Amino acid sequence: MEIPKQLTRAIVLSAIFSGLTLSGSAFAQGTKNVFLEEIIVTATKRAGGMAVQDVPVAVTAYGESQLDAMYIRDLKAVGYSAPSVQLEDIGTTRGVANFSIRGLGINSSIPSIDPTVGVFVDGMYMGLNAGVVFDIFDMEGIEVLRGPQGILFGRNVTGGAVLIRTTRPTDELSVNARVAYESGSNMYLSTVVSGPLSDRVGGKLAVYYNDDGGWFNNLANGNDNFGKASTKIYRGALSFEISESMDLIVRGEHADTDGDGPASQNAGLYREDSFDFSVNEEGFYDNSWDNLIAEFTWDVGPGDGQIVNILGWREYESLTRGDIDASPIFFFHAPASTFQNQMSNELRYTASIGESYLTAGLYYFRQDIEYRENRIIPPSSFNRTGGGDQAQDTLGFFANLDFNVTDDVTFNLGARYTEEKKDVKIRNIPLDGCVVGGGCLTFNYRDNQTWSSVSPKVGVQITPSDETQIYAFWTKGFRSGGYNLRHTAVAIPNEPFDQEEQSSYEIGLKRDLAGGRVRINAAAYLNKMSNLQREINLSDPFVGVIQLIRNTSDATITGFDLEASAALSDNLFLRGSFGYVDGSYDEVRFDLNGDGVVDSADKQLDMPRLAPKSYGAELIYTREVGFGTFTAQASGYHRDSAAYTDNNRGRLRAADMFDASVGFTFMEERLKFSIFGKNLKNESTIGGDTQLPAVFPGGPSTPVPGFQGSGATFSPLNKGRIYGLELQYRM
């Protein structure tokens, strides 16, 4: 593997810079290194959590201090620093997650597609992949669990899970306020005020405001402030000490975010390494949501027994419009609306029983989705209108037992039973269109089905010393079957797709050296997938793009993850990661490449969302100076290109992401001023790469003189290079 010269140069320069700083006589010794702090994670759902090195799970975890020190602003940045992880926004409309871990991910904004990576906010599962990719503020911690987590977290976590924890009300009055400005006229403000309201009641109020002036230049009309967006988030929390053994915390959130539609690049019109694009429909998005989460904890004893109940409710609403032909000519525009509400309740019991530790519980989830979409394709008086409604009920029972055979050996046994019912009514998007208001919302497909599955797990942990853990396990997982609310192929029947099943084997090592100053975590895995659910994109001149959901194949994914870190001194911290993923089809039952036959050519295709290699490193330097504390950070992370569509004609671009920052802390650690840069190499990356019909602009039927593009595409751009300033106040 050849490491890019830019990555090597960034690391070397950072080391030289840090070394020079170490020699400066103006600096004092002994600054506390936040990266040596113990991080407690909730991945095993044990009472009080567990140290990250003690859990038999491949996990990348960040506490509040680490998130601050690394200047992580959004989930995408976490995705680059964790091996074999992509936490991407699809770009069709803002906030829609297409997360992928170890090559398992989805490629769609269709709301009825269940994700392969589950996202949990304060213990509540996010049933929709929309409204998930948001800016990080008011965070207590983030955990990225790699690999299937079906026993404790349920179905649809075959790739892994992302656990997000917001802060709890504090025991003493505290204030955390930030103001920042980034290039592109992007300003954000946040304030978190927390503290006691009485001897037994605590409260928190958090407010976030972002005013993005637009980073892109739309060449169609010269608008160099394209991409404007505004986001407002309000959070509140109340904690109640009901008794010495009972606690209740209630969290609420309301958010509004709106702005321009996607910056849609067409690879048939512009170079893929540029940020050039041209759209005549600038579009919009207008999203809002409300969350309410109540977490009740009762310490019941004996054996540290605890009962926890998490009741969650969420309502989400989205209106969008985008230029899908990604050109200055009106070929394909698409307004859409999504309404979703969900309610969930998890009741679990945890306790030590002799030499064993038991976690058991039951889970209920209810979700209703209403989705509508117009496809406006000339003649503009006709609109291809469709969508559907889906009601979903999920019930699960789970138990996990860790029992010590000896002081050094622990067996892990677990199982989960899940039953899920989905009931739909769908309006297929017709070829010939229908006049708006002329009965377009008549449903022509109705169905319901129930799926069930048992997910077992057998594992072992060996701890030959306090600094070393070796673990291994076998487990099964599944993604629920379902329906396509965006069915556009009239000639192909709309029908349910079956559940996807997984059998996974993993062995891992967690090792601390030099008194905890050096850490190495590694894992190797093999996943056998059957009945893979795939979102098939086929270009079509009548409806623009046909999107089918089918169980296309069986596949095997193998790989290796490595994370390493070292406190080179009290002031200098180095961390790095490497991920390798290899996937291949064992059997294919669908014409993936569209040549009319199912044969060996389909089996040779790359699996979508599987980037073979991801790696990088980061240096963080912290040192006390006469007037406060100085910090510096530099990082470089690489991710390989990956197929986007199953036929491999659409691809996600490789990227080398370089970030850097310096900060000064004053007034006894209360005030911090920072200067930072993100994506310093100005990499052009995209959320998706959907192939469009040949007759669309940029296609073979409409070539651009002097430019040989890769064909007409809809490829939403991410931002490039960004510089910024930030001022933070803590009390």
CA 55 → CA 421, 429, 470, 570, 664, distances in Å? Answer: 33, 48, 10, 27, 35
**576 Cβ contact list (under 8 Å, min separation 6):** 563, 564, 565, 615, 616, 617, 618
In the predicted structure, residue 11 carries a pLDDT above the cut 80: no
Farthest CA pair distance, the chain: 79
Which of 377, 381, 367, 364 minimizes the C-alpha distance to 338?
A: 367
CA 621 → CA 23, 436, 547, 567, 636, distances in Å? Answer: 13, 60, 49, 10, 15
pLDDT (average), residues 600-629: 92
Q: Residue written as tokens 């095993």?
A: 44
In the predicted structure, residue 19 carries a pLDDT above the cut 70: no
Q: Residue written as tokens 């579009």?
A: 283
In the predicted structure, residue 134 carries a pLDDT above the cut 70: no
DSSP E strands in 50-147: the ranges are 50-51, 58-63, 85-89, 97-101, 104-105, 117-121, 124-125, 139-146
In the predicted structure, residue 149 carries a pLDDT above the cut 80: yes
Weakest mean pLDDT among 46-60, 226-240, 271-285, 604-618: 46-60
Identify which of 386-400, 480-494, 531-545, 696-710 has the greatest average pLDDT: 386-400
Q: pLDDT tens digit string along 161-190?
A: 999 999 999 999 999 999 999 999 999 999
Residue 537 pLDDT class (50, 70, 90 cuts): confident
Per-residue confidence (pLDDT) for residue 382, from 0 to 100: 57
What CA–CA distance (Å, rounded) separates 34 from 141?
14
Q: pLDDT tens digit string along 660-711?
A: 999 999 888 899 999 999 999 999 999 999 999 988 988 877 767 667 677 8
Q: Write the DSSP string, 601-631.
A: HHHTSPPTT--SEEEEEEEEEEEEETTEEEE
In the predicted structure, residue 28 carries a pLDDT above the cut 80: no
Q: Provide the mean pLDDT of the chain.
A: 88
Per-residue confidence (pLDDT) for residue 374, from 0 to 100: 86
Which of 673, 657, 656 minimizes the C-alpha distance to 665?
A: 673
Residue 731: other Cβ atoms inside 10 A: 12
| Selected residue with higher pLDDT from 301 and 247 | 247
pLDDT (average), residues 209-222: 95
What is the DSSP code (8-state) at residue 516? G
What CA–CA distance (Å, rounded) separates 561 from 147?
11
| Selected residue with higher pLDDT from 182 and 129 | 182
Percent of the chain clearing pLDDT 70 (strictly above): 91
Burial class (CB in 10 A: 0-12, 13-18, 19+), 12: exposed
Q: pLDDT tens digit string along 454-510?
A: 999 999 999 999 999 999 999 999 999 999 998 887 778 889 999 999 999 999 999
In the predicted structure, residue 8 carries a pLDDT above the cut 70: no
pLDDT (average), residues 430-451: 69
Show the domains of the chain with their CATH numbers: 5-730 (2.40.170.20)
| Selected residue with higher pLDDT from 66 and 368 | 368
pLDDT (average), residues 378-391: 77
- Partners of residue 358 on adjacent β-strands: 351, 401
Q: pLDDT tens digit string along 240-260?
A: 999 999 999 999 999 999 999
Which of 376, 297, 273, 285 minimizes the C-alpha distance to 330?
A: 376
Per-residue confidence (pLDDT) for residue 437, from 0 to 100: 45
What CA–CA distance (Å, rounded) separates 713 from 707?
15
Per-residue confidence (pLDDT) for residue 706, from 0 to 100: 65
The model's pTM? 0.91
Per-residue confidence (pLDDT) for residue 16, from 0 to 100: 34
| Selected residue with higher pLDDT from 548 and 439 | 548
pLDDT (average), residues 342-356: 93
What CA–CA distance (Å, rounded) separates 230 from 271?
29
Q: pLDDT tens digit string along 75-112?
A: 777 888 899 999 888 878 888 888 899 999 888 888 88
In the predicted structure, residue 30 carries a pLDDT above the cut 90: no
